Structure 1
């Protein structure tokens, strides 16, 4: 990989972003304190709140299951993923981490049973897990890719990166391989597992790898895991090589001064592909969602990116696709709604037409109305699309469902807020909705009757 030389060096820790010199911390690493989401107290409600219409009118909580303790430690949850009748819950960094991925048998959605765990690596936490069936000359079965981050970035005894497991039998996971991030960052924050025929790849979002390594390593890697025992990096994405507004002079891997002279933040937070595995979407904070053609995974082609108005805090956190891949849903995580020179707003959802991926066009935005009701938890987090319904995790704002039959006019159709809500992730699997509550574990929401237009059970 080519070495970068920064003409305007910045000392780590002295990260000033606003034009007036006010420190604005965009993400957990440089914000100090606990991992984002962990420090939200949640809102105590006398009973869970459930309201809505269409398919969510009859949505009800059918299970709320806490995590078992490992090593007599109470772990908090990360993201949630469903596959072949099992729920996979990542865990967070509270109480020293080491909680691994928890596997729940969902044969009876009203009684999920925790049957196993894996990747419970001391000194690390495992937020994201993706599971897919693969068939290569080296491995055939169900493969799980798990993000691994160090709780203490400077711990010499911990390794960050991602782990690979055979979960063909989810009750008996088997470790296959490990890919180590050597950039000096905590490791892989989010990742995505994608399949192109006999080729299997993991895309990584190693937040701040570029910054900590002074350009020696990049935030986004494409790793060939067709042989899970021997993961091999085949590509690293450097925004300086593709985006004219980004150069060594105005970007150090984290701090970025845009073409209007606005001081912003840019780093890879999340990665995903379309169903073909040939188009990648990189959620790159104030650089927006970057779109790559990865038909040739070792030689990606830059297509385009989403953009923000000058007064909008960027913070492209994660995304999903709708309308057969022609519509992109982008969630923006903004905990600090007040910043000089910008609109006053917590993070909200932006919906783009990407039929022409070289020129994404903003169709609409979706904002909730509970900013004053739930201070500190009023930002959107992750999106999942199922048919014409958008499901959003909203921390203390719970799970929100939005009708996007007309993407230019999204309409909120339901809200689920459990007591002390702190919803990190959401996933739609068959006829139920899985939600990971950071403090209390797995929530299962059953879709009993009624179906939104275009949605199948």
Structure 2
């Protein structure tokens, strides 16, 4: 989710209420929602009513509970050892999802500091803090980012015991850590955390313009307490990236002052950057010196380059445009099929001559109401050999499964969504992230908690054979039946 540049740094408390670390068990609460299948493209379901295609159904829901409440905004997901770890602005939940029909909470860690996006590597978990705090502890208080003593950055937890995570270290980074991307080194001794952050301002001592850089944190696997900031490469040293402006329909186009999301493909030494006003292809063969190979802009339809996903053969990248920052109703007729959508780009050429070539847009075909925040958001590939199929969150637009094997003609093959949280006013909610893991779709809903869905479609049956021990959406590997990472 995006807050407008300059605004997020002035906010000192957003969906944050907890101030201690706890690890405790809780039983899951499984919802059995009413279902109405196959609405028309113009039908708006009732409040909390679920609609879906026949091939995609809900099999479990675990609402926020224990120390987390309905105000504990659910964010991103990482997976390890058959467990889903879901961030919230208050901390994170650890779910046992080995039986996807009966997911169970095994621990909850209170550690405020939105967004608390998560990634995992072995026995380590990395937590992003992008709201200024009084210190790096989990007992910190909100503090203005204009205060030089405020803290933002990466927190590191030992999750060797998933029932009792332990906080072991923290590394401060300029502008905080909105998201983080894990990249292993080539020797297997260390991991690098690429920190994405943005929205500098003249009154922010640790986030000065233009901030066209990344922060890279080195974490020794065997001694994570020695984690440190080791590089701050500038991606756009010559022109500073997209200067921003106004799109033809009057909406604002973001200037590039950092990156929102980075997605690595370590086997190929590649990274895709969604950098506010630019889509970027990077060479990361030297882990501390990422190098821009090619960059693209879309000054007609894209407002905010938010995230990126490679296809399985590393011949395409799907970039998302988070028009309205995730808090706006953009799945309306007046925005059409190309605003707040995905842009599909093919990678052509070889080596330093590789280019990103635009092919088409994809947006969910179902209109939403004026009270539903809806725009392209986080998703992942469904590993089907020879096909490019993705599952993706659209906030209150729900979950879409779509095929972009033909880059010029993407099409939806399944969907699932709840009706609006309110018919009276826009209330922010819906699915933040939807990822494929070990045969099922797992979704983090901002308000409703964890959803688990079963996709029963002949086109995706081969993906049921893929097993992963560990999964981070922003660290991709070539997947195939029998794969285990």
Q: Does 2:198 match 1:178?
A: no
Partners of 1:193 and 1:43 in 2: how far apart? Answer: 39
| Partner residue, 1:405 | 405
How far the C-alpha of 1:79 sits from its partner, in A, is 1.2
Cα deviation code 1:98-143 (max 9, x no counterpart):
x21110011221211111133x324x2243111123xxxxxxxx22
Match of 2:341 in 1: 348
2:180 maps to which residue?
A: 191
Report the equivalent of 1:204. Answer: 195
Structure 2 distance, partners of 1:236, 1:222, is 6
Query: Match of 1:320?
Result: 309
Q: What corresponds to 1:240 in structure 2?
A: 236
- Count of paired positions: 390
Q: From the superposition, tell whether residues 444 and 68 of structure 1 become closer, same or farther in structure 2 (CA, over 3 Å).
A: same
**1:278-357 alignment, distance < 5 Å:** 278-288=269-279, 290-308=280-298, 310-335=299-324, 346-356=339-349
Q: Is the 8 A contact 2:379 2:390 kept in 1?
A: yes
What are the Cα deviations for residues 180-238 of structure 1, in whole angstroms up to 9, with x where unaligned? Answer: 12x3x3x2111111213323100001222586433486552121112421222222232
1:105 to 2:96 alignment: yes
Is the Cα contact below 8 Å between 1:392 and 1:399 reproduced in 2? yes
In the alignment, which residue of structure 2 is the partner of 1:125? 114
Tell whether the 8 Å contact from 2:212 to 2:235 is kept in structure 1 after alignment: no
Classify 1:368/1:144 alpha carbon distance in 2 versus 1 (closer, same or farther; 3 Å): same
Find 1:48's aligned residue among 47, 50, 54: 50
Unmatched runs of 5 consecutive residues or more in structure 1: 1-25, 93-98, 134-141
The corresponding residue for 2:80 is 83
* TM-score, normalised by the number of residues in structure 2: 0.71
Separation in structure 2 between the aligned mates of residue 128 and residue 329 of structure 1, nearest angstrom: 20
Counterparts of 1:397 and 1:409 in 2: how far apart (Å)?
Answer: 21
Structure-2 separation of matches of 1:374 and 1:257: 25
Is 2:357 the partner of 1:367?
no
Query: Structure 1 residues 174, 453: closer, same or farther in 2, change over 3 A?
Result: same
Superposition pairs for residues 376-391 of structure 1, below 5 Å?
A: 376-387=372-383, 388-391=388-391
* Structure 1 match to 2:262: 271
Q: CA deviation at 1:305?
A: 1.6
Q: Does 1:27 align with 2:8?
A: no
Q: Aligned pair in 2 of structure 1 residues 372, 436: CA closer, same or farther (>3 Å)?
A: closer
Alignment partner of 1:154 is 2:154: no
Q: CA deviation at 1:49?
A: 0.8
SS in 2 for 1:354: strand
CA separation in 2, counterparts of 1:277 and 1:323? 11
Provide, for residues 20-74 of structure 1, a one-character-per-residue CA deviation record: whole Å limited to 9, x for no partner: xxxxxx7345457989x98xxx97446311115xxxx1x3211111122328785
Structure 1 length-normalised TM: 0.76
How many Å separate the matches in 2 of 1:422 and 1:146? 22
What displacement does 1:352 show?
0.8
Larger CA deviation: 313-322 vs 442-451: 442-451
Task: State the alpha-carbon separation in 1 of the partners of residues 103 and 125 from structure 2.
Answer: 20
Match of 2:124 in 1: 143
Deviates most, 168-177 or 103-112: 168-177
Report what 1:13 is aligned to: none
SS of alignment partner, residue 323 of structure 1: coil
Question: Are 1:191 and 1:272, in contact at CA under 8 Å, matched by a contact in 2?
Answer: no
